[in-house]
C-alpha cells in the first residue's frame, strides 16, 4: 500500500469515522489510517506513525474549532491534504475553510462515489467542492450581484451580535471574549456579514448596516 493513499478522520462522532472506514476498506487502492475524536489524538498518531495523505475534518469538534485546526494542521503538516466534512453550508463558512488550508469541502450526506471523486481530484492537484456546495456558492454569488438597493439581507442572531459589537469598534479578540466564541468563529461571522451586505471592508459594513437599519429590529 502506498503511503500517499492513507485516509484519517477527525470527528467527535465515532459513527462518522466508522462509516468512512467501511467505505475505504471497500477499495484496495486506499488505506484507513484511523478515526480520531480530538486533535491531540491525531497529532499523537502522527508522532508515533506518520502523516496520512488525507484528513477528513469536521468543523464542530466539541471544544475545538475545526477551521482554526485546519489552518494549524496545514501549516504544521504541509503534505497533509485536508477535506472538510460537515453538514454546514453557509457560504462564509465554506470560503473561510478554503482560505485556511482546506483542499476540499464535502457534506456528510455524500455518496461513496463522491468521496472517491474528491480524493482523486485532490490527489491530482485540484481543489474539490461537493456538488451541493457548488450550488450554494453559485446562488450566493447570484444573490449578491442581483440584489438591488432595497435588498435587506437576513442575519442570524449571532451575526447581529457580532455586527453590533463591530459597530462599537471592538476588536476581533474583544468580540470573541464578549460572546465566548473563538477568534476564528468571529472571523467567520465577519466574512459572512461582508458577503451578505456585498461590501469589502468594515467601513462599508457599518455604512450599509446603518442605511438598512439592520440593528433597529
> Is 52 in the same domain as 99?
yes
* Cα–Cα distance, 37 to 138 (Å, whole number): 33
What pLDDT does 151 receive?
A: 59
Output the nine-digit C-alpha cell for 181: 466564541
Residue 107 lies in a domain: yes
If one compares 181 and 138, the residue with the highest pLDDT of the two is 181
Residues facing residue 6 across a β-bridge = 31
Q: Which residue has the cell 485516509?
A: 7
Whether the predicted pLDDT of 197 surpasses 90: no
Whether the predicted pLDDT of 25 surpasses 90: yes
| CB neighbour class for 170 (10 Å; exposed up to 12, middle 13-18, buried from 19) | middle
Considering its fold, how many domains does the chain have in total? Answer: 2
> Is 47 in the same domain as 127?
yes
What pLDDT does 150 receive?
A: 54
What pLDDT does 148 receive?
A: 47
> Is 40 in the same domain as 108?
yes
> Is 77 in the same domain as 33?
yes
- Domain of residue 159, CATH code: 1.10.10.10
pLDDT tens-place string over residues 48-93: 999 999 999 998 887 788 888 999 999 999 999 999 998 888 887 8
Output the nine-digit C-alpha cell for 2: 502506498
Task: Report helix, strand or coil for 88.
Answer: coil
Residue 7 lies in a domain: yes
Whether the predicted pLDDT of 4 surpasses 80: no
DSSP state of 173: H
Residue 142 lies in a domain: no
> Is 12 in the same domain as 65?
yes
Mean pLDDT of 97-103: 92
Q: What is the mean pLDDT of the chain?
A: 86
In SS3 terms, 11-58 reads as CCCHHHHHHHHHHHHCCCCCEEEEEECCHHHHHHHHHHCCCCCEEEEC
Mean pLDDT of 95-102: 89
Task: Count CB-CB contacts under 10 A for residue 211.
Answer: 11
pLDDT tens-place string over residues 157-184: 888 899 999 988 898 889 999 999 888 8
Range of the domain at 166: 148-212
> Is 159 in the same domain as 205?
yes
Q: 34: left (phi > 0), else alpha (psi -120 to 50), else beta?
A: left
User: Residue 204, Cα to own-chain centre: how many angstroms?
Assistant: 25
Whether the predicted pLDDT of 12 surpasses 90: no
pLDDT tens-place string over residues 120-133: 999 999 999 988 88
> Is 130 in the same domain as 152?
no
Predicted TM-score (pTM) of this structure: 0.70
Amino acid at each position: 500500500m502506498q503511503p500517499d493513499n492513507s485516509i484519517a478522520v477527525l470527528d467527535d462522532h465515532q459513527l462518522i469515522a466508522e462509516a468512512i472506514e467501511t467505505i475505504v476498506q471497500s477499495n484496495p487502492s486506499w488505506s484507513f489510517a484511523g478515526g480520531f475524536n480530538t486533535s491531540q489524538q491525531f497529532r499523537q498518531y502522527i508522532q508515533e506513525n506518520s502523516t496520512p495523505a488525507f484528513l477528513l475534518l469536521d468543523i464542530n469538534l466539541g471544544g475545538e474549532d475545526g477551521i482554526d485546526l485546519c489552518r494549524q494542521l496545514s501549516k504544521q503538516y504541509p503534505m497533509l491534504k485536508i477535506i472538510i466534512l460537515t453538514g454546514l453550508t453557509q457560504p462564509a463558512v465554506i470560503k473561510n475553510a478554503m482560505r485556511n488550508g482546506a483542499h476540499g469541502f464535502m457534506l456528510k450526506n455524500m455518496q461513496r462515489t463522491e468521496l472517491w471523486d474528491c480524493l482523486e481530484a485532490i490527489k491530482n492537484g485540484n481543489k474539490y467542492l461537493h456538488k451541493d456546495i457548488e450550488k450554494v456558492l453559485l446562488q450566493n454569488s447570484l444573490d449578491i450581484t442581483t440584489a438591488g438597493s432595497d435588498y435587506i439581507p437576513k442575519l442570524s442572531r449571532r451575526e447581529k451580535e457580532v455586527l453590533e459589537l463591530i459597530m462599537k469598534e471592538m476588536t476581533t479578540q474583544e468580540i470573541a471574549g464578549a460572546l465566548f466564541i473563538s477568534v476564528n468563529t468571529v472571523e467567520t461571522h465577519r466574512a459572512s456579514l461582508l458577503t451578505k451586505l456585498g461590501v469589502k471592508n468594515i467601513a462599508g459594513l457599518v455604512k450599509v448596516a446603518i442605511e438598512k437599519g439592520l440593528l433597529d429590529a
